[in-house]
Structure 1
Amino acid sequence: MNRFSIRYHNYSDFVHGVAGAFDLEIKNNEFELPESLGSGFVKGIDLGNGLSVLMAETSLRHGLVLEVGIVDEEFYVLNFQESNPETDDKKDQQPDDFILLQTGVYLRSSLNNAQYYVPAGHVRSVSVIMPLAWMQHFAETTESGIMLEHLRGIPFQKQHLQLMDTEYRIIINKLFDPKLKTPLRELFIGNRVMLLIEKFFTKHYLGLNGVEREKHLTAEELKRLAEVENKLVNGLFEETPTIDDLAKMAAMSATKLKRSFKSIFGLPVYEYYQNHRMHVAKDILLTGSYTVKQVGQKVGYQNISHFAAAFKKIHGVLPSQMLVNK
């Protein structure tokens, strides 16, 4: 099990600190993970105005313990995390009293300690450091001030969590597009990160966060519903699970699953699934590397007409028209 202690005000310093500890080469503020830890990359980006971004896509050989201590400057960290552990029986036992950092969106204050655990497996994350002055300017409403006071006084375990949904995933997928090699890459990343921040606060202010709306659900039920959503969006190439299959996964009745899922994610189960795979289809089409038939097959359609009709229902145009307009 690997353990890191983080005491940084920005992610450029963090990247250089970790790279120095492992004697790793840094290029464009990015390094590749050493084989002893796994594979993948970690990249730091400074966006100006004190905003700092850390992007990481890794496959961890062993669980990772992160200890985030209090520093002498107040700032806030917004973390978008997607974790897919290798197995349910993890290689390393999760330490007692540490938070399992699973798929979700977290906001914490630097005024509070945080100790959490990332299990072995695939991890993709986008973290943003936001200085207090920037937060106060960005969030000028009275409600925003109440939120900041709330974050200062509570432990990380109880700080703000949103479940990952398709809106977030679409933006994050574009951030990690391996073909994104444009000279304007960091400008593109900065724009998408701001969009993630905007969506987070919009969901918070408008009460669209499912955790807030489903008061009767326990933390364990919310966790299992997040697993159901993850199964739907990451199993596009498998046979679509039935409602009964998903209800068993969530350990609840089919009726409760359908009601709770819609309340949390905003759409019925299969409509949510359909929307997501049509967005995946659009992204694949826009690469220009596949035919319409190949794209349809990649998202689970054998009948090209059915795929075209489903695509048009979501995007308003046929997939063939999107290729022509590209």
Structure 2
Amino acid sequence: MKEIQEILSLAIPQPAMSDQLQLAEQDSVSVPDCLDFTLQRFTYDKPLPVEDVAMVIYQPAKRGQSAAIELRYCVAGSKYCKNPTCTDQLCSEGKKEACNDRVPSVDLITVRFQPAFIQSLQKGTTTFSLFENQSRKPFVKTIQPCTKSKSVLETMVHHDYEGILKNIFLQSRALDLLLYSSDQFMQNDTDERYGCRFLTHLEDREKIENARGILLEQLDSPITIRDLARRVAMNECYLKKGFKAMYGTTIYDYFQKERMEKAKGLLYEKGMSVSEVAMLMGYSCISHFSTAFKKHTGLKPCELLLR
């Protein structure tokens, strides 16, 4: 359950929104001596912003056990029909737009390669190792699924194979995912490629998630990194490095982005005045707010109101 909440917190920025999800379908397949595949599809009725996200989790070999690799994906699925007489395939073949019973979904897909299978892939490779000379270091890497990966995921969700053919199909598709994701997490820079070693511990990742939650809860009241680190009981250096590894930006830039997005909504959707929004966002000087807003949106607050 923690694994689900962990990736959902990345895909759905506002934690309360994930409560709208309703489990509609789940599947679990174990391909002997190869991999374990799980699918959980959630549907929702109200609009829900979902960001496609993936996690690559690597555990190195230890005490006679081979290395293990796990790929987790959370993607916004196609709209599926609630009518039992109307299949997903039927909707996807041109009648989806005309189907009044279709609902949006979120697909959570996990592929865990069994250690023995990873070992078999690396046999006989003397000039190249999947993780080169750093294979003794565990890591967790958050990436954005590429177009090719999302296409593969769609075929893994929708296929007509059963029995041994299903196992063969899932194995081939899973290898495609491993290939495409490796293009993203295997870069020339060692630190970027393997991320922060301490992030392999769920407890540390939860602390950084809590820090992000605190930032989102008090967008109108800036907090220092020192106070933020104290509140989540984490070293400042680890917090800054781990935050950037998990969310791809610094704490300050993330806070400013979310802050200006909220301000944008208050101005454009709520129709509030510039001075009112500046005050609500914790700015004592309207000109400072205007400068920060333009840096993020490219427009002055007053220019947005005129649109």
Instruction: For CA contacts below 8 A with separation 6 or more, give which structure has more relative contact order.
Output: 2
Instruction: Specify the TM-score bucket, using the shorter chain as the normaliser.
Output: 0.3 to 0.5
Greater Rg by CA: 2
Q: Given the two structures, how large is their TM-score scaled by the length of structure 2?
A: 0.43
Q: Given the two structures, how large is their TM-score scaled by the length of structure 1?
A: 0.40
